[in-house]
Amino acid sequence: MSEDEAKGLQSAFRRKLLMGMAALPAIGLLPRPSLADVPTSVVNTTGLAVTDTEVTVGILHSATGTMAISETGSIESEKLAIEQINAAGGVLGRKIKFIQEDGASDWPTFAEKAKKLLVNDKVAAIMGCWTSASRKAVLPVVEQYNGMLYYPTFYEGLEQSKNVIYTGQEATQQILAGLNWVNKEKGAKSFFFIGSDYIWPRTSNKIARKHVENVLKGKVVGEEYYPLGNTQFNSVINKIKLTKPDVIFTDVVGGSNVAFYKQLKAAGIDLSKQTLLTISVTEDEIDGIGGENIAGAYACMKYFQSLDNPNNKAFVAAFKKMWGEKTVIGDVTQAAYLGPWLWKLTVEKAGSFDVDKVAAASPGVEFKGAPEGYVRIHENHHLWSKTRVGRAKLDGQFELVYETADLVEPDPFPKGYQ
């Protein structure tokens, strides 16, 4: 990209921002921080990059490499949230400035860049990481240098840290209610698990298996894993045909998804008759899969772009104004949007940017303006949130078919599921 083009993009970006602000009122209802001039020496006792007018945070995602496909949405929504917060007066009267670093889909690079953000740039918080592997690489760094990480992705659990706020759902929050629902609604007793071969699908399937066998008294008739990036699924589809499960439960990720659903359809498995429950396909993935290949499948998430509430409508409108009409918003994109807001609310509750105070003030922080509806931070630094089941439609959106009545408690170390 030439320099001129880069400048052109930047100004287009600014224009979009201004337009996006028209959609702010819903979020503007949030309590505005009193712009009382709190001296920097009071709100920042640990030498973070906070001045009288500005506070710096880091955005750390993959803009290049294989994960750029997934992480782009998170970068976009974090930037949107930061702009909205700034338009609403900033944090403790200070505008947020962000430094964006590229993790390049490479886990040590994530660790290196996290260290740079914390040590050299002294950022007050990092919004970032996507894969479990990148988080695992960054975790020792944020713990050692006492940073604050807001992590957006639904993940396998088995982790809890003072320095991390998990704005996505851990495995039990995502899976259990969905399995209960297919069991009750569809009378499902037999399940076929298929996943990509790495830790998140394996852990999720382990939890799902325990739940199916011990709670639902059902049967798992098959459990299969394919390498990341695999594009041939005909053999496993034959196994599915042989075992005739009530439910195909999938956590295949990335480009493999596209191949899986296309081949499933081509093999004559009609998703309007065969129940399929996925925990890995959001609106983002459907963009690549094609609505016609996946229509009828059920996804178990906490957020769908089609959610009908005022917060979400304002969020979707603002997001599209900023990033284009054609963009779609998936579960993780929304969770990433929560990060900057939760951080702002926590900082204002703590009355300080200090990481220790922010970490201590986090439990109990509520965000009423969340697109997914009300969320609250739990003692264990995960979010209380609802589980929802949506049905994929031809146009690539989900139709909400079920949501839990109450917020589901996050339980990263579930007893009886390990």
Partner 1 sequence: MTDNRFVNKSELIGILLLAALLVVILPLFLDVFRLNLVAKYLTYAFVALGLVICWGYGGILSLGQGVFFGLGGYCMAMFLKLEASSVENTKIQSTPGIPDFMDWNQITALPMFWKPFHSLTFTVIAIVLVPGLFALIIGAAMFKRRVGGTYFAIITQAVAAILTILIVGQQGYTGGINGMTDLRTLKGWDIRPDHAKIVLYFFEVGCLFVCIFIAQFIRHSKLGRILVAMRDKEDRVRFSGYSVANFKIFAFCVSAVFAAIGGAMFALNVGFMSPSFVGIVPSIEMVIYTAVGGRLSILGAIYGTLLVNFAKTSLSESFPELWLFGLGGLFIAVVLAFPNGLAGIWGDYIAPQIARLFNSGNSKPGGWAGKPVADSTPAE
Partner 2 sequence: MFGDYSIGDLGSIFVMQGFAGLILFSVYVLMALGLAIIFGQMGVINMAHGEFMILGAYVTWMTSNVFQAYLPGLFAGYFFLAMILAFIASGALGMLVEWALIRHLYKRPLDTLLATWGLSLILQQAYRSVFGAREVGVELPQWMLGSLHVTDSIEVPINGIFVMCLTVLITLAVAYIMYKSRWGRQVRAVVQNRVMAGAVGINTEKVDRYTFALGCGIAGVAGSAFTMIGSTGPTSGQLYIVDTFLVVVFGGAASLLGTIASAFSISQTQSTLEFFMSGSMAKVLTLLAVVGILMLRPQGLFALKVRK
By the rule CB under 8 A, 120 interacts with partner 1: yes
What the block records as the tokens of 26 is: 């819903």
Nearer to partner 1, 223 or 366 (CB): 223
Q: Which of 112, 224, 287, 411 binds partner 1 (CB under 8 A)?
A: 112
Helix (H, G, I), strand (E, B) or coil at 203: helix
The site that binds partner 2 (CB under 8 A) totals a number of residues, namely: 46
- Contact window for partner 2 (CB under 8 A) among 20-28, 65-73, 127-135, 410-418: 65-73
Residue 190: beta bridge partners? 219
Quote the tokens at residue 203: 């852990």
Q: How far is the CB of 231 from partner 2 (least distance, A)?
A: 4
The answer to whether the CB of 87 falls within 8 A of the CB of 321 is no
Among the listed residues 378, 344, 404, 310, the one whose alpha carbon sits nearest the alpha carbon of residue 167? 378
Phi, psi of 411 (to 5 degrees): -140, 80
Contact string 66-95 vs partner 2 (x = CB under 8 A): x-xx--x-----------------------
The answer to whether 239 and 269 are in contact (CB under 8 A) is no
Per-position DSSP letters for 242-270, written without gaps between them: HH--SEEEEE--THHHHHHHHHHHHTT--
The verdict on 262 binding partner 1 (CB under 8 A) reads: no
- Is 272 an interacting residue with respect to partner 2 (CB under 8 A)? no
Region 280-299 residues binding partner 2, contact defined as CB under 8 A: 284, 286-293
As measured in angstroms, the least distance from the Cβ of 101 to partner 1 is: 7
Are the CB atoms for 113 and 101 separated by under 8 Å? yes
CA 266 to CA 8: how far, in whole Å? Answer: 44
* Beta carbon nearer to partner 1, 134 or 312: 134
Q: Nearest approach, Cβ of 198 to partner 2 (angstroms)?
A: 10
Among residues 227 and 416, whose Cβ is nearest to partner 2?
227
* Interface positions with partner 2 (CB under 8 A): 1, 63-66, 68-69, 72, 197, 224-227, 229-232, 234-239, 241-242, 254-259, 262-263, 265-268, 284, 286-293
